[in-house]
Structure 1
Amino acid sequence: MRLEIEKWLEIQNFNENTEGLFGESILCFKNGAYRSSLLYSYLGFLNVIRYRILESSIPSGFQQGRWELLRRELNDVEIWDGKAYDALVTNNPPIFPISASIRRELDYWRDKRNDCAHFKKERIDYFHTESFWSFLIEYLPKLVVNGSKESLFRKFVNFFDPSITPPDEKMDPLISEIEYSVNKYELEHFFSEIRNQFQEAWPIPEYLKIFGNIFKSGTPEIQDVLLGFLKKNESDLESLIKEYPEIIGRLSLDVGFVRKLWYSKLFGGLTYNNYGILLGLIRNGHIKRNQIDEVFQTIIPRCYDHIPADSQVIELQNLNFYRKIRPDLFPTNGFSNFSTGNNRSSFIVHYLFTQEIQRNDLLSLKASVERDYPPYNLIDKLDNKIRGNGFFEDKLKDAFEKFDIEIPNELDALIENNEDYEDLPF
């Protein structure tokens, strides 16, 4: 049976040294060495405090020289643990703004640590270690360096300043700082400040870039708070999903929001990444399998101008999407209205290129292009694809020959006179 502390550690972004200390603590605990277990956990705790200070900017009111001295002492292997504790509880000025009750708790656990380290006679049992772990889980998120939120905010400002930060710089280090720079009870206000400040919108608003990266590399606890914040403004949540459909698997989405998204926004209000969003919702269970037919019936009339990416074709095939859309692309007697054929022309070419061609597909195509007023956009797009792609030319030729259907004059010249061209993009 896994311990609660093990589950908690999995969702923290502690460094390797800290993880090693907690790992030793858990190993000792499972083997009944509770005194050693508590001691290792306490060292792991102080190591977290140590790195929160080392990775933070100087708190307001703190003298620069004193701050630099503290940082040197925290890097001294002989004295770092004592200096980390002193920095945690100091009040002149405070590095960590903590309440009197937390301060009493820290004093208590400091005494217990001394009992372990100096082999005093006081009994140390499993419940002492478990109590300390509960203390860590509850209070460690509250122990952030004074002014670190403001410092992190400035770092985000600098990140988006091209005169300071190159465009290929990764945002991950800043995302990891949120955990120890912002008190969890201030996270929602912090996200609001991010949204209000970072509105630059080309090509993606900066605040959406920050939020997207939080869902990619932030801790689950921070992601949960951000999702709750975004649910209060669904347009932001929609925009985030549009820009980063790959994060859908990490989102707990309300049923009503999901239905509204595919029912009225996909292939309509959302201008791109529609198939990525659709497949993400299905793949992660936000759209149930028994709803897929209804979803396709709703979106197909809106999706003719939206062509799936090559990487999405097989997944759509497995969902029978192409079987559902086929009757709209190849009506039995062709398109009686040339504008309808023109409007669906891009998807018709895509279908013929990616799917197995059936006899009725060619009969419908032939009937459409041989009308007195044929869909000329369709003919032109077929022409361009044939001339630009030898595979497509051969595939059409083989299909007409296989089903013994005469190639219509409108396509005959395009196929017979096609020369060897390099493949062109569709």
Structure 2
Amino acid sequence: MFVKLHFEEWIKNEPGVSENTKELIDEAIICYRAQAYRAAYLFSFLSFQNLLKERMLVASCPPGYDEEYWKGIQSELRNDDKWEAKIIECVERERPAQIFNLSVDTKRQYLYWKDRRNDCAHAKSNKIGVSHVESFWLFFESNLSKFGVGGGKEALLEKLKVFLNPAFTPVDSDPTSIIKEIPLTVDSADYLEVIENVYELTTVDIFGPMKTRVWDEMFKLRGEFLDQLVEFIKTNQSLYTQLLKEDPSKVRFFANDPAFIRSLWYEMKMDFRTYKVIIGLLRHNLIPREELNEMISTVSSNNNDTFFFQVEEPDLLVLEESGFFSEFKTLAFVDMKINDFNWARENRNIIWHLIIRNGFDETIVEALNNTMSNSFIPWRLRDSILELFEEFPKLKEEYIDVNSRINGCLPDKLFNSN
């Protein structure tokens, strides 16, 4: 069993590397381990060339080039007999403009490694050894992000501005192709500026349809690009609140920051969509068991009777399997929070779902008997129980049966409400 090489680990996790390129890398590594260094170098350089080809094939026409002329270049890249020579020509090209916006030094290094490739391919007398292969891998890792087509970051930002302007772009347009260009055209060190620009462009009406899709596609990037996106979002409460309300499953991207996860349920202002974020946290097991009771107490204290009104079955299953309902039942019917008028009113929807799923037991019936026998009762909760009886007559019968078992006294306000 071989220990994985640093380069091998890096390339496997690098965004924008196709399976075809990874196969070439695999061949290079097999040759490297067999000490066939000329072959290892050839496959390594070929994989770099293949990456540049793939970037050019998906790139829009770069500044300074005619659209038809650019399509002609892309056509030659699809020709198995011409593509590699065409890549070298495009890297060297200065007129009418650079295709790859490279410094003189980076271009000089590339041409040096191109000549070493020729040494291997044409069996020249220059020796190619392990140091050449490993040094090229360092060049590969250090410079891949510099080989962006079409003006790099500035051109990409311009595309995003056009895309996010409804005067130029239909609202049902797909930003996937633009976002996929990010790992190919933007150095990870410059990505924060891209994120900041996207935020500025989406600040007003952040969830217009195409703006939502831009954020969704950015979450599909990997490595440093995803890490920077997550860190930026965590610093902006209005942004992460809106994003998580729109798609609660995104909480999984913040799983490695327990303090941030805690702040979501502890500080987030409840509204009719916030409960979905709470369910998202439970669904992805992001609330430690020892914090569950505190979370439920906090959420229920900030709840509203317009929340948890129409909860879908998959969400109810999460509330049950996570232990939410069990802890909530203790809070409501053992700690007797239902005696608190405001708490009982605001949490009556959760109580409704809890009873529908689990029915009445001795704990619930005894608690309701006591609460509904008082002079002043939480009448909104009373109304919900009466509606429950009317909609589900068997639950009313169950209540009466359980009450009989505990020799309880049925409260008039539930059973003689007329």
Are residues 388 and 123 of structure 1, via their aligned partners in 2, closer, same or farther at CA, if it must alter by over 3 Å? farther
Match of residue 10 from structure 2: 8
C-alpha displacement of 1:139: 0.9
Contact kept in structure 2, 1:334 and 1:367, CA below 8 Å: no
SS in 2 for 1:94: coil
What is the aligned partner in structure 2 of residue 224 from structure 1? 227
2:193 to 180, 189, 194: 189
Of 241, 246, 256 in structure 2, the residue corresponding to residue 243 of structure 1 is: 246
Match of 2:178 among 168, 174, 180: 174
The answer as to whether partners of 1:334 and 1:368 remain within 8 angstroms in 2 is no
Per-residue deviation, 1:267: 3.6
Distance 2:324 2:236 in 1: 32
1:109 is aligned to 113
* Cα-to-partner distance string for 1:309-336 (whole Å, 9 max, x where unaligned): 5434455445543343334422678955
Matches within 5 A, 1:280-359: 283-284=285-286, 287-303=287-303, 305=305, 306-307=307-308, 310-317=313-320, 319-330=322-333, 338-355=341-358, 357-359=360-362
Gap regions ≥5 residues in structure 1: 415-426
Moved more, 254-263 or 49-58: 254-263
Cα distance between partner residues in 2 of 1:395 and 1:161: 58
Q: Is the 8 A contact 1:200 1:206 kept in 2?
A: no
Change (3 A) 1:260 1:370: same
Deviations 1:313-367 (A, max 9, x none): 4554455433433344226789556555333322222221233643121022123
Per-residue deviation, 1:53: 1.5
Do the aligned partners of residues 327 and 292 (structure 1) sit closer, same or farther apart at CA in structure 2, a change above 3 Å counting? closer
| Alignment match of 1:214 (pick from 215, 218, 221) | 218
Number of paired residues?
409
Residues 155-192 of structure 1, C-alpha deviations (whole Å, 9 max, x = no match)? 5444774995574x655443322211323232111112
Q: Distance in 1 between matches of 2:129 and 2:393?
A: 76
Query: Per the alignment, do residues 123 and 239 of structure 1 end up closer, same or farther by CA in structure 2, a change over 3 Å counting?
Result: same
- Give me the whole-angstrom Cα distance separating, in 2, the residues matched to 1:257 and 1:333: 31
| Contact persistence 1:331–1:364 (CA under 8 A) | yes
Q: CA deviation at 1:211?
A: 2.7
Secondary structure of 2:101's counterpart equals coil
TM-score (norm 1): 0.81
Corresponding residue number in structure 2 for 1:100: 104
Deviation at 1:112, TM superposition (A): 1.3
Counterpart of 2:131, as a letter, is F
| Aligned equivalents of 1:10, 1:371: Cα separation in 2 | 67
Q: What's the counterpart of residue 423 of structure 1?
A: none
How big is each residue's C-alpha offset from its partner over 1:253-280, in whole Å with a ceiling of 9 and x where there is no partner? Answer: 6555444333222647984423135326
Following TM superposition, by how much is the alpha carbon of 1:238 offset from its aligned partner in structure 2, in angstroms? Answer: 3.8
Which residue pairs with 2:264 in the alignment? 261
Distance in 2 (CA, whole Å) between partners of 1:388 and 1:352 is 13
Change (3 A) 1:334 1:148: closer
Q: Using the alignment, how far apart are the partners of 2:155 and 2:54 within structure 1? A: 16
1:97/1:201 Cα in 2 relative to 1: closer, same or farther (>3 Å)? same
Partner of 1:362: 365
Question: Aligned in 2, Cα 1:370/1:59: closer, same or farther, shift over 3 Å?
Answer: same
Residues 401-410 or 245-254, more deviating: 401-410
Q: Percent identity?
A: 25
Equivalent-residue separation in structure 1 for 2:224 and 2:337 (angstroms): 56
CA separation of 1:397/1:130 partners in 2, compared to 1, >3 Å: closer, same or farther? farther
1:381-421 CA-partner distances (Å, limit 9, x unpaired): 2233344346755654654465554654544479xxxxxxx
Partner letter of residue 274 of structure 1?
V
Q: Distance in 1 between matches of 2:336 and 2:254?
A: 45
Q: CA deviation at 1:9?
A: 2.8
The CA deviation at 1:83 is: 0.3
Residue number in structure 2 paired with 1:24: 27
The answer for unaligned runs of 5 or more in structure 2 is none
